[in-house]
Structure 1
Amino acid sequence: MTGPPASHHTENQSPPIWHTLTDTQVGQTLQTSAAGLRTAEASRRLDEYGPNRLAPPKRRGPLMRLLLQFHNILLYIILGSSIVSAILGHWVDAAVLLVAVVINAVIGFIQEGKAEAAIDAIRAMLAPLAFVIRDGQRHEIAAADLVPGDVVALASGDRVPADLRLTSVKELRVEEAALTGESLPVEKNVAPVAEDAPLGDRFDMAYSGTLVVYGQATGIVVATGSATELGRINEMLSSIEGLSTPLVRQIDRFGRGLAVAILLLSAVVFVAGILWRGHSAADMFMMAVALAASAIPEGLPAIMTVTLALGVQRMARRHAIVRRLPAVETLGSVTVICSDKTGTLTRNEMTVQRMVCAGHVFDVGGVGYAPVGDFSIDGHVVDPMHCAPLAMALRTGVLCNDANMRNDDGMWHVEGDPTEGALLVAGAKAGLEHQNPESSWHRLDSIPFESEHRFMATYHHDADHAPWILVKGAPERILDMCARQWNLDGERPLDVDYWRRMATDTAAQGLRLLALACKRAAPAGDKLAFSDVETGYTMLALVGIIDPPREEAIRAVNECHHAGIRVKMITGDHVETARAIGAQLAIGVGKPALTGSEVALMDDAALRRVAMEVDVFARASPEHKLRLVRALQDGGQVVSMTGDGVNDAPALKRADVGVAMGLKGTEAAKEASDVVLADDNFASIAHAVREGRAVYDNLKKFILFMLPTNGGEALIVIAAILFDLPLPVTPAQVLWINMVTSSTLGLALAFEPAEDGIMAKPPRPVGETLLSGFFVWRVTMVSILMMAGALSLFLWELSDGTSLETARTMAVNAVVAAEMFYLLNSRHTLKTVLNREGLFGNPYVLLAIAACVPLQLAYTHLPLMQAVFDSTDLSALEWCKVIGAGLLVFCVAELEKILIRRKPAGKRLAAD
């Protein structure tokens, strides 16, 4: 059987399915042998196939990336404001607005550069060196020089340098969590597996970028560079385009519509003034400019950035580090959270949860590696040391063990196999110290675990110098070695059916099984031999081990469900384990779990239907995760994906919000994500969703506050044109009002705390517009009130013989006063603010008003400001009239809230 390597097959040839072939067939296909390739042939293949590295993706140059940051409707609007300000001669305002545009562009430029680092992080996972056999000799070469057909030697601690078909193994265990999501190191062998075996079940393969944690092996290189599984993920990641966030899409639609409306309105006013009222083109141009200046919400981009930045700070305090600013709000609009299992919903710390011993089932409390927890039967706490069989089982688990525990600054860690670590922790919970539970129990010899024997044995002397041989291993193997079992009333003949039933019951709960046994005997010689350990044991216990769910994750999932957010588990782990963990987290209860193999058989339409119905997906590959995220998005969902492995990176990048684990996550996952959890805790996602919703609420409150200011000013200008009145406010005065209200007053709403019940509401509908019918009504009502107050005051003063400058000064102050009072109204959309919390709950609102008052006093009474803006001094009576105009808005807005709250619940909810 011959053919080209998988990494470089021709267009019309299908690549060999390496995991289905014997090692002999692989050697024949790649024309290699145990002596490896000849050096000349390796050089020829290197020229033909290229180096074993991931090619860097094509990228836009830095200049083009920077220029594209300016292609944003928000920046166009603010640039328009800057141009209007410059036309009016307000160079300082124009410069400030221009600087805001540049800052936004620079921030976007930096963020895009960080996102591209995801692909660099994957390339960094490749091993730098490899031990290869060429010309029958062992050499250490650069991993980049490996070619298909090379024979590579692996040892504990090595990073696998290419995709290998294993040809010989000796106790090889490979950590593949970053690639497959498997929570435990995978034990490898050389036997071929079925063609449809998922990546995590291809036990005869070792994949590039994974880590050898135990044993030795040799294997033939079957794929290098971009043809490896790691390379395929890299290509997927390179091909995924980043998505725009819901907020950016909403603001974009809102900005475009507003810009068109402003331009049309200004043009209509300009033409109407000339043709209808007979004004000169120059005068009407200044009026149109005044209208445009009054209507453009130049404060929106700045307030959005500030609100998002404040959300970033609040999320950071909740251990969620935001890498892309819009992701703050996007989290608040999430409808589905797809979460990896290992390390996210679970602790990634194997834990003994169940021990079947002496005819009883003992539940073991506590999670993770901290040696804290009780032993109980049916909820009743027991002392394990008062139960001889259980005490001996725990002692066996501790002694027949090669792992170590350590405490670093209060954090417990396990060195070695996670399953053995779980046994150490269980023993420590019972008071047995690691390696030496009693001073006389020294290990005298041992037989290490080997896959063909499926057990480990150790030889000890107890306190009375009696010999003991202790074993642990696969339940079916240990049962074959036992003749008796240790009950509470002593040793009895082995009840094989009972232990098999209990093993089936324990495995059905998603727990990994180990069996423990012992015999009071010494080896025939000085050292343990297989003939000493294969028979004559007393069965002690079955141990059920699992990577348990985080307790806080259980609460967080429940909170998400109450918030109308679906939580789905997508993991590379076994389906039974995934289903068991899902049940403990209330994910997918009563529903089927789907495997990656089943997902692969579905077309996109079928997957879209199933994706929302099923909540637990197991044995999922990177492609499966990516397809699931896309299917949910195609179904109109806003998707957050969480993960920690390189296998999660494509889905993290594709999701609306990618969330990576900061402690145990790979660099590839972090760089592909929008948010990094500093504590690897799913509960932090729920906190971040709450903050994201608060951010969106605050942005809506700001828009509800800002638009009436622009609307009121625009109505004043329109009314002056329609009724042939002198302009109540000049273009320069309009800019002053906008600067004061946006820079001081509106900014305070960014600091609003989340309202009560924010997580009791469902996610906002996908495609929701910023301006709902209720919002249009509120903006129109308040705009008319502001216009009525300012225009009435202006006309009143003119009719009393007051100068035009004084009347305009009062009109300007009336608009700003109305904004001050309306700021208080805006703290709650429907709730009244006529209480202590409403008036004093946000100190930044009071500070903003306190900052605005002296600005208006300076505008009115400072000679320099009078010279710039044509303002005049006001008397005490005139100031009272100004305050009265502001109070009109406040009182009517609160009355409107009362009327809305009296509506039926459905209409009230629609208004909210």
Structure 2
Amino acid sequence: MTTQKSGNQRDGTVAAAEQNGLPVADPWAASVDDVLETLDVGRREGLDDGRVARARERWGLNALAQEEQRGWFRRLLAQFSNLLIRILLVAAALTAFLQEWIETGVILAVVLVNAVIGFVQEGKAEEALRAIRDMLSPTARVLRNGKRTTIDAAELVPGDILLLDAGDKVPADVRIIESHGLHTQEAMLTGESVPVSKTAEPLPADTPLADRSAMAFSGTLVTSGQGRGVVVATGSRTELGRISGMLSEVIEIKTPLLRAMDKFARWLSIAIVILASVIFALGVLVRGTPVAEMFMTAVAIAVAAIPEGLPAILTVTLAIGVQRMARRHAIIRRLPAVETLGALTIICSDKTGTLTRNELVVRRIATTCGNRAITGTGYSAEGRLVPTRDLGASAGDDAPPEATDEDHAEDPADEPVRVALRAMVLCNDAEVRPATQDANEAGRAEDGREHDSADPAASGQAEEWTIEGDPLEAALLVAARRAGVDDHALRAEHARHGVVPFSSELKFMATLHDARALGADEEGLVVVVKGAPDTLIERSSHQREAEGAVDIDPPWWTGRLEEMTGSGQRVLGVAIRRLDHAPDDLAEAVTDLEMLGLFGFLDPPREEAISAVAEAKAAGVTVKMITGDHAGTARAIAEQLGIEGTDSALTGRDIDTLDDEDLARSVLDVDVYARTTPEHKLRLVRAMQSHRAVVAMTGDGVNDAPALKQADVGIAMGIKGTETAKEASEMVLADDNFASITRAIREGRTVYDNLRKAITFLLPVNGGESISILLAVLLGLALPITPVQVLWVNMVSSVALAMALAFEPAESNVMRRPPRRTDRPILDGFLIWRILFVSTLFAVGIFAAWFWSQAQGFSEEASRTMAVNTLVILEIFYLLSVRTLGSPIRSWRDLWATPLVRAAIVLVLVLQALFTWAPFMNTVFATEAVAFSQIIRIFGAGAIFLVLLEVEKAIRLRIVERQQALA
């Protein structure tokens, strides 16, 4: 009867769990026995073949679902969905209809180049999913039928007993049932690099992902220890699988530039169709021109109005931005992301390694004899032990004070600190070695030769070290060296007589040494204990003071601990116990301890990140920190970085209590988010985008991939980033440095400015050509410029000159103005006026050259040669005005331009000379050579043209200034 009741309960539990798509609901919250009973498996026997077959039938293979991928042909066709490209294809078809094969070939070449570039850049989502699948472990060691066996990881099923050892990649989500110093590296899921200790003890059901110490997750790495776990989720039901599912569901958002260009192309298409239709109707109905002749004329006008070079200019301008950003350590994977960076309004940044150095250092040492700081940053020899301010100081005062002459004097209070440091060296498994040693060993391993290494001391630089082992333990060794403790000699002279490895259950590590290891001149042994401060305080009966051991004052230690954790520090305690002889059980001897001190660790902010946050703020870009670390640490680092809104930090649990609407209402007011999961990051990005914010998201782990893909600009870390994160991103930081983002924003804004300049330069040329042809038709005149000549101007001289604008340097105020509104069209009121104004001047110039040439008795071919040369030379003078679109030309330096602009002008003049005087060009373009003196006259007209442009610009800028003053 009892057995039947138990079976019913198990069936009910399984049914409830399976409703959520899992064999066990919240396995971390259930005891080990309950989980094993629910899965109907014994911890020593594992599953038998029958139960494996039934589980595989129910849950399937331990593999991520694969979506159907687009073939290369479909990807290629997708490149022609851009409206500007379609307009060019229509133009190619029309010119082919008119048998203008040169024009057709040139236009198709432009289309093909753009299509190839887009084709190569495609496939981001498929590559990201493939990178996730590659992270799965290929094999797994399990218990089946009471025997240990190695199987393909894809064959794992819920209920399998999995055996874990250091170096293993966890192949599925498992509930820990035994842990012997088991630690896993979960940075790919949580973003935090410190290994996580695992335990079999159950946890509350609402425990955040980063704190689920009773679980080991698929794709993570076992860094130390051993353990066993029961598989509770496989395939797409694992945490890794859920991230893969979120990644495949994210809909890619068009960049602001592509949206603006689409809108611009739609209006341009409508305008061209209307213009050509009106011309066709007027010619046929009003002037009685034959339909066939008028159709060809309408096509000529359409070709003249299309800016054939614009797609190429857009691609080249973005590509130049890519090259500039690459020199600043920002690698762009998708061209449109270049400009999107310039429109950013929010940067969501991870903390560890991006805003901080990802190098834990001992920042504070608290003893009853005083507080000390260790100066220096990172893993270098530079630094020493110095007095520090009271630990209750604000987090912003974290940096130790500059050392004075008094700091070099011996302080009696330093001795207890050095004793504590010696203890931390002894109770430590990490290693610190010179970086040059690692480099030389790597070189010898590579080619068997000795490699010379530069002496850092000889070069005046501090020696750099590399670490092996736990980062906290390595930071203790670095601190000891800076305080003058020789860790190698200390360990060599005082070997361990026993050790208790750290475990989640004990929360401490203990080692046994002879008493002289800590400097005491006495016989006997000493137990050195390092671990969680509250555990050590509870196990201590005494504390070290200057005069020796006295009764412990627990409130004093607790107060210091709260002050240190409140300022965002991770804290470890150290204590000792003196013994006459070795104990039978060292763990049992960890009582009646003498408390020595507390060590506060911090991953300090990058100095350049602090200035970069300030620069972003000046540019109107908000920086938000989204981290998997604890809220106290996140707030402290954010305050040091200058990130605002640290008082109202939200944790993952807080986010879980908010629906999407509530989250959207609060997301802009909060700048610090802690203990976040992949779902939280994705929801936060979407909430910000609901306010039309342009969001950048940084990340390095698999957990960041969905949010990276959802963001307008996903930014992956190049050094510590996973392939999954890189494939889901638009930009990769080669140096993992936040400051590179602000430099990229500067380049992105410059790219957009230069693109507007190029459009402002190109469209009036097309406008002038279209007006000239339109007036010629209405007045019944011969065309002053033919379609093939229009194409020469549009694809050669205009493109060459506009290309030079892509290389223009940043405006002086580029990072002192707010981000542009993404709903702002590329052609605003000013640009529309400028295009109409300059188009009219170009048309006047074309007709003036045509009529003057006709009056001089020139042939139609020679007259058109003069008209085309007039248009091109006026373009050159217009280029000089467009370079300073937001300010008048004030000096010869403004007029003289950059070397690239001068080179473009020379190139166009050479090409135009060929157009005018080369016989083969005369044949192709139906032109006729004219006297050189006639061309010189045009330059005089160009100077007058430039003066008119600058007068208009000065008047317009003065009107804008008055409007701003009144506002």
Q: Could you state the TM-score of these two structures normalised by the residue count of structure 2?
A: 0.90
Cα displacement string for residues 766-806 of structure 1 (whole angstroms, at most 9, x for unaligned residues): 21100000001111111111111221232233234333332
SS in 1 for 2:157: coil
Contact 2:801 2:901 survives alignment (8 Å):
yes
Give me the whole-angstrom Cα distance separating, in 1, the residues matched to 2:763 and 2:304.
10
Aligned partner of 1:707 among 763, 776, 790: 763
Tell me how far apart the structure 1 counterparts of residues 965 and 225 of structure 2 sit (CA, whole Å): 63
Distance 2:17 2:157 in 1: 11
CA distance in 2, matches of 1:895, 1:92: 40
Q: How far is the alpha carbon of 1:17 from its aligned partner?
A: 2.2
Q: Which residue of structure 2 aligns with residue 543 of structure 1?
A: 599
User: 552, 567, 574: which is aligned to 1:516?
Assistant: 574
Write the letter of the residue equivalent to 1:502.
Answer: R
2:710 pairs with 1:657 = no
Cα offset, 1:488, TM superposition = 5.0
1:320 corresponds in structure 2 to 330
Q: Residue 137 of structure 2 aligns with which residue?
A: 127
SS where residue 760 of structure 1 aligns? coil
Q: Whole-Å Cα distance in 2 between the matches of residues 335 and 454 of structure 1?
A: 44
Tell me the CA shift for residue 439 of structure 1: 6.4
Partner of 2:488: helix, strand, or coil? coil
Is contact 2:426–2:491 with CA below 8 Å preserved after alignment? no
- Residue of structure 1 aligned with 2:906, choices 845, 850, 853: 850
| Amino acid in the other structure paired with 1:889 | F
1:274 aligned onto 2:284? yes
**Match for residue 62 of structure 1 among 41, 62, 72:** 72
> What SS does structure 1 have at the residue aligned with 2:949?
helix
Change (3 A) 1:288 1:384: farther
2:357 match:
347
Higher mean alpha-carbon deviation, 370-379 vs 632-641, is at 370-379
How much does 1:487 deviate?
4.1
What are the Cα deviations for residues 118-160 of structure 1, in whole angstroms up to 9, with x where unaligned?
A: 0011111111111111122111111111111111111122111
Matches of 2:679 and 2:955, distance apart in 1: 53
Write out per-residue CA displacement over residues 309-336 of structure 1, whole angstroms, 9 at most, x where no aligned residue. 1111111111111111111111111111
d(CA) in 2 for partners of 1:617, 1:877: 71
Matched, 1:425 2:478: yes
1:78–1:301 contact (8 Å) kept in structure 2: no
Contact 1:375 1:384 in 2 (8 A): no
Instruction: Give the AA of the match of 1:290.
Output: A
For structure 1, list consecutive stretches of 5 or more residues without a partner in the other structure. none
Q: 1:772 to 1:418 in 2, by over 3 A?
A: same
What is residue 83 of structure 1 aligned with on the other side? 93
Asked if 1:225 is matched to 2:235, the reply is: yes
Indicate which of 30, 33, 55 corresponds to 1:21: 30
Q: Deviations over 1:867-892 (max 9, x none)?
A: 22232232344223311232232111
Label 1:533 to 1:601 Cα distance change in 2 as closer, same or farther (>3 A).
closer
Number of equivalent positions: 909
Worse-matched range after superposition: 650-659 or 895-904: 895-904
Aligned pair partner of 1:447 in 500, 506, 529: 500
Please point out which of 607, 613, 618 is paired with 1:557.
Answer: 613
Report the counterpart of residue 788 of structure 2 in structure 1: 732
CA contact (8 A) 1:173 1:215 kept: yes
1:591 aligns with 2:653: no
Counterpart in the other structure of 1:875: 931
Q: Which segment drifts farther, 483-492 or 694-703?
A: 483-492
State the one-letter code of the partner of 1:234.
S
* Of 90, 94, 115, the match for 2:104: 94
Percent identity reads: 47
Instruction: Give 3-state SS (helix, strand or coil) of 1:391's partner.
Output: helix
Name the residue aligned to 1:44. 54
Deviations 1:201-221 (A, max 9, x none): 222111111111122211111
- Structure 2 equivalent of residue 634 of structure 1: 690
- Does the 8 Å contact 1:503/1:542 carry over to 2? yes
Q: State the AA in 2 paired with 1:535.
A: D
Equivalent pair of 2:638/2:646 in contact (CA under 8 Å): no
* Deviations 1:41-91, CA, capped at 9 Å, x for gaps: 213322332111112122233322222221111211222333344345443
Cα deviation 1:147-176 (Å, max 9, x = unaligned):
111111111221111111111212222211
With over 3 angstroms needed to count, the CA separation of the structure-2 counterparts of 1:164 and 1:828, relative to structure 1, is: same
Stretch deviating more after TM superposition (649-658 or 548-557): 548-557
The CA distance in 2 between the partners of 1:434 and 1:240, in whole Å, is 51
- Alignment map for 1:435-834 (pairs within 5 Å): 435-437=488-490, 440-458=493-511, 459-460=513-514, 461-462=516-517, 466=522, 468-488=526-546, 492-518=550-576, 521-522=578-579, 524-525=581-582, 529-537=586-594, 539-834=595-890
> Is the 1:6–1:15 Cα contact (8 Å) retained in structure 2?
no
Task: Indicate the RMSD between aligned Cα atoms, in angstroms.
Answer: 2.5
Alpha carbons of structure 1 residues 897 and 491: separation in structure 2 relative to 1, 3 Å: farther
Aligned position for 1:336:
346
Q: CA deviation at 1:836?
A: 4.4
Amino acid at match of 1:285: F
Contact kept in structure 1, 2:23 and 2:158, CA below 8 Å: no
The AA in structure 2 aligned to 1:806 is: A
Q: For the residues of structure 2 that align with 1:498 and 1:124, how far apart are their CA atoms? A: 51
CA drift of 1:449 comes to: 2.1
Partner of 1:414: 467
2:489 partner SS: coil
Q: Any conservation in 1 of the 2:186–2:196 contact (CA below 8 Å)?
A: yes
Q: Partner letter of residue 48 of structure 1?
A: R
**Contact map agreement 2:583 2:589 (CA 8 A) in 1:** no
**Aligned residue runs from structure 1 range 351-430, under 5 A:** 351-376=361-386, 377-378=388-389, 379-381=401-403, 382-383=407-408, 386=411, 387-406=414-433, 407=435, 408-409=438-439, 412-430=465-483
Q: 1:598 & 1:246 partners in 2: Cα distance?
A: 32
Q: Deviations over 1:565-614 (max 9, x none)?
A: 11111112211121122111122445311111221221211111111111
Taking a change above 3 Å as real, the CA distance of residues 485 and 540 of structure 1, as seen in their structure-2 partners, is same
In 2, distance between residues paired with 1:176 and 1:13? 22
Cα shift at 1:484: 4.0
Change (3 A) 1:164 1:350: same
Q: Does 1:140 align with 2:197?
A: no
Judging changes above 3 Å, is the alpha-carbon distance between structure 1 residues 607 and 526 closer, same or farther for their aligned structure 2 residues?
closer
- With over 3 angstroms needed to count, the CA separation of the structure-2 counterparts of 1:8 and 1:483, relative to structure 1, is closer
**In the alignment, what sits opposite 1:236?**
246
C-alpha separation between the residues in 1 aligned to 2:666 and 2:88? 45
Deviations 1:358-383 (A, max 9, x none): 44332333333334334442425235
Aligned-partner SS, 1:209: coil
Cα distance in structure 2, aligned partners of 1:141 and 1:559: 54
Change in CA separation of 1:480 and 1:532 when aligned onto 2, cut-off 3 Å: same
Secondary structure of the corresponding residue to residue 341 of structure 1 = coil
After TM superposition, give the deviation of residue 857 of structure 1 in Å: 1.3
Give the deviation of 1:262 after TM superposition.
0.5
Partner residue in 1 for 2:395: none
Of stretches 392-401 and 366-375 in structure 1, the one that deviates more from structure 2 is 366-375
Offset at residue 254 of structure 1 (A): 0.5
Contact 1:830–1:900 (8 Å) recurs in 2: no
> What SS class does the counterpart of residue 199 from structure 2 fall into?
coil
Unaligned residue ranges in structure 2 (runs of 5+) = 1-8, 390-400, 440-462
Does the CA-based 8 Å contact 2:21-2:237 persist in structure 1? no
- Check if 1:158 corresponds to 2:168: yes
Name which of structure 1's ranges 887-896 and 652-661 shifts more when overlaid on structure 2.
887-896
- Report Cα offsets for 1:256-282 as digits up to 9, x if no partner: 110111111011011112222233333
